[in-house]
Structure 1
Amino acid sequence: MTTLSVDRHDLALLAELQRDGRATNSAIGEKIHMSTSQVSRRIQRLEEARVIDHYAAMLDPLVVGLGVMAFIHVTLDRHGSSSADTFEQAISDLPEVLECFSVTGEADYVVRVVSHDLASFSEFMMHHLLRIPGVTNVKSNISLKKVKQVTELPLDHIAQPRQPKMRVHFSQ
C-alpha cells in the first residue's frame, strides 16, 4: 500500500467535494483559496490515489417509491471461504441490497435492503435471500424513521497535528 501525503488544502478540498460533488473546480477554489488549476491537479491526484472513490447522485428512496428499509442479520451454516464467497456473490447480484457487511457477533453479515412495500420485502426475503445456499438464519429490523444519514466522512483526525509532549520543570 502506498502512502499519500495530504495537507490542509487537500482536506479542505475533500470536505468541499463531500458537501457538493457537483461543485466546479472554480467554485471550490474560491472557497478554499486556491486556483482552478491547483484544484484540478489535486483532485486528479486524489482520484488516482483512490482517496476519491467515485461520484454519485443521492436519491431519496421515498420519492422513488422505496418506502421500506430493512437491516437484516444473516447467519451462514458454515464458516469458510467457500460459503462466504457463495453468499457474497449472490448478495452482490441483488439490486435491493444497498450495503452488506461481514461482521463480528451473533450474525455473520448485516445487509441493508430497500423495497417498495412490505409485500415486496417479503418476496425478497422468501424468494431471494433465504434461497442463497448456506443461509441458515435471518433476523430483520424494519426502519421506522431515519434519524441521521450522512455521506460525509469525518476528516478531523487527519488534520490534528501531533502536539509535542510538554516538559514541566519545577524550580525550588
Structure 2
Amino acid sequence: MSNQRLDAIDIRILARLQADGRITNQQLADAVGLSPSPCLRRVRQLEESGIIQGYVGLVDPAAVGLGVTAFVRIRLEQQDDTRLSLFEAAVADFPEVMECYLMTGEADYQLRVLVGSLSEFEDFLRHKLTKVAGVSQVTTSFALRPVVYKTALPVG
C-alpha cells in the first residue's frame, strides 16, 4: 500500500482508468491534459506504488449463469488468531466467495457469494461453508436486485 500524494492529474488519471481500463495512453493523455510520455510515466508510477493494483474486465454475473447473490454473515465459536486465519484461508479458496470482510458487531465475517441457483447455494452452504472448522452460526440474506453497484473508487 502506498501513501504517495496524489495531485489533480493523478486523480484525473485514476478516474479515467476506472471508467475505461482499455483507454489508450494517447486518449488518456488527451483526457487529462498531458502529452503521452509524461502520462505514461505517471501511470507506471501509480502501478509501481500499488495504487493501481491491476486491470480487469467486468463480467455480468447473470450473463454467465451466476444470477443469485447471497450475503452471508458468519459467527465463529471463538475469535482467536488461529481460528480467524483458518477461516480466512478456507473461504479464500471457495470460488463462490467474491468478497469476505472481518466485521464488528453481531457477525464475525460477512461474505458476498455468487451462485447460479438456490440449490447451488445449498450445496455451497452444506458441503463447503459449514464444514469449515469453527463456524458456529450462518445467516443468509439474498439480494433481489442491485440498486447501486460501483467498481470505481471516489478518488476525486
Same fold (TM over 0.5): yes
Write the deviation string for residues 38-62 of structure 1: whole angstroms up to 9, x where unpaired: 1110011001110101111110000
Cα distance, 1:2 vs. partner? 5.7
CA apart distance, 1:120:
0.4
In the alignment, structure 2 segments of 5+ residues that lack a partner are none
Q: So what's the TM-score if we normalise by structure 2?
A: 0.97
Partner secondary structure for residue 43 of structure 1 = helix
* 1:5 positional shift: 2.1
RMSD: 1.0
Number of matched pairs: 156
Cross-structure match for 1:77: 77
In the TM superposition, residue 3 of structure 1 has moved relative to its aligned partner by 3.4
Alignment of 1:9-158 (within 5 A): 9-156=9-156
Cα distance change, pair 143–78 in 1 and its aligned pair in 2 (3 A):
same
Give distance in 2, aligned partners of 1:32 and 1:46.
15
| Secondary structure of 2:63's aligned partner | coil
How far did residue 84 of structure 1 move?
0.3
Q: Cα–Cα, structure 1 residues 11 and 117, in superposed 2: closer, same or farther, change >3 Å?
A: same
Look up the SS of the partner of 2:70 in the other structure. strand
* 1:25-77 deviation per Cα after TM superposition (whole angstroms, max 9, x unaligned): 10011111111111110011001110101111110000000010000000000
Tell me by how many angstroms 1:7 deviates.
1.0
State which structure, 1 or 2, has the greater radius of gyration over its C-alpha atoms.
1
The one-letter amino acid of 1:75's match is: R
In the alignment, structure 1 segments of 5+ residues that lack a partner are 157-172
Contact 2:2 / 2:50 at 8 angstroms: preserved in 1? Answer: no
TM-score, structure 1 as length reference = 0.88
Runs (4+) of structure 1 moved beyond 3 Å?
none
